[in-house]
Amino acid sequence: MHASVRRAAFIRRGILIIGAAGLTLGLLWKLPEWQVGGWKAFLTPKELIELENHARGTLTLVLLGATLLLGLYLVWRRMAATEQLASRALDTVRESQSTERFTRAVEQFGSERIEIRLGGIYALERIAKESERDHWPIMEVLCAYVRERTAWQEGHPAPARVATDVQAILTVLGRRRREHEPEEHQRLNLSRTDLRGADLQNAHLERAALVETHLEGADLGGACLEKADLRGAFLNEADLVQADLKGADLREAHLEGAYVVEAHLEGADLGAARLDGAYLGGAFLKGADLSGAHLEGTYLYKAHLDGATLEGAHAVTAVGLSREQRGQINRASTDTETGDDYERQPDAERGGIDAPAADRLAAKRTGT
């Protein structure tokens, strides 16, 4: 049946070619006669024949040129179609290879040998950099692995250090290609995990979900946590020096004794957060909501509190607040001692942190 269909198509093409050739010859013969027909009264028969032949030559050149252009166009179309098919085949091969590499890398996570697990982690990182399509699924796989391995367990003692494979994943997440994440709803989810003492310095965790995550003593210096969800997170004694927390949700978060020096907290929500004994010297808190926050013993010298909401904050022993700021916290208070305390604040070092606090921070970072 297929042979008969092909034969019929071949015959049709042959008839069309013969018909086109006949029509072309007819035009070459008759059209020049029609063109010079009006000159019969003025020319001799010999001159008419010469004029007809000249017209046929010109028409032949025109037809040959048109045929050449048509042939070039058909060749170009065939080449473009071939190139497109080759490109599709190459994409299919690449996708197949990428899927195979992805599957193999994920399988390595189940190995008991740390070097094999690390190989899988870095293989996934490489695939995520090369493939925009696979980028986000890989980020979700890595986050799921961390959540499974470090799920918070009440009463569990703090580890001596973060597990090597978990720290490797945190490093990969912190330096990922964020241009592959255009969607606002794409959030790294590390909520309710035990990341105490983790190294997240300069990590990019914008919009990350870190709800009730334990980050006590973690190094988040210079980290980008803009619009991150840190509700109820535990950041006690964490290093957040110069971290970017603009617009972050820190409601009821624990930052007791944390180093938040010169951090950017513009527009952040710190409602009912625990900041007892935290160091916020030189921090940028413009427009931040500190309603009901616990600021007992909090160091706020040279902190930028323009437009910050302080109503209901507990800051009787906070250091570095002006009379106006204390008045905003407790408008009924007429205790002049608060003003005297403000006048007695020492000159600050390290952008707003006092010398003893600077020494403690240096000791924490060097591990001495």
What DSSP string describes 247-294?
T-B-TT-B-TT-B-TT-B-TT-B-TT-B-TT-B-TT-B-TT-B-TT-B
Is this prediction's pTM over 0.75? no
Residue 246's pLDDT band, with cuts at 50, 70 and 90, is very high
**Residue with tokens 């912190």, as numbered in its chain:** 174
pLDDT at 72: 87
Element (H, E) at 34: helix 2-36
The average confidence (pLDDT) of the chain is 82
Considering only residues 222 and 6, tell me which one the structure prediction assigns the higher pLDDT: 222
User: Are 111 and 156 within 8 A, CB to CB?
Assistant: no
pLDDT tens for each residue of 77-133: 888 888 888 877 776 666 666 678 788 888 888 889 999 999 999 999 999 998 888
What is the rounded distance in angstroms from the CA atom of residue 219 to the CA atom of residue 233? 14
The CATH number of 187-368, from 2.160.20.80, 3.40.50.720, 3.40.1190.20, 3.90.1150.10, is 2.160.20.80
Q: How confident is the model at residue 229 (pLDDT cuts 50, 70, 90)?
A: very high
Per-residue pLDDT, 335 = 37
Query: Phi/psi of residue 344, each to 5°?
Result: -90, 5
The answer to whether the CB of 169 falls within 8 A of the CB of 144 is no
Which residue matches tokens 């190094």? 219
Q: Tell me, what's the pLDDT at 342?
A: 37
Residue 266 has pLDDT above 50, yes or no: yes
b/e per residue, 130-161, with b = 16+ CB within 10 A?
ebeebbeebbebbbebbbeebebeeeeeeeee
pLDDT tens digits for range 158-209: 888 999 999 999 999 999 988 878 777 789 999 999 999 999 999 999 999 9
pLDDT computed for residue 64 by the predictor: 80
Choice among 7-11, 29-33, 274-278 with the minimum mean pLDDT: 29-33
Is it the case that residue 36 has pLDDT exceeding 70? no
Distance CA 205, CA 165 (A): 19
pLDDT in tens, 274-312: 999 999 999 999 999 999 999 999 999 999 999 999 888
Q: Is the pLDDT of residue 213 over 70?
A: yes
pLDDT in tens, 117-150: 999 999 999 999 988 888 999 999 999 999 999 9
Tokens 């625990």 -> residue: 274
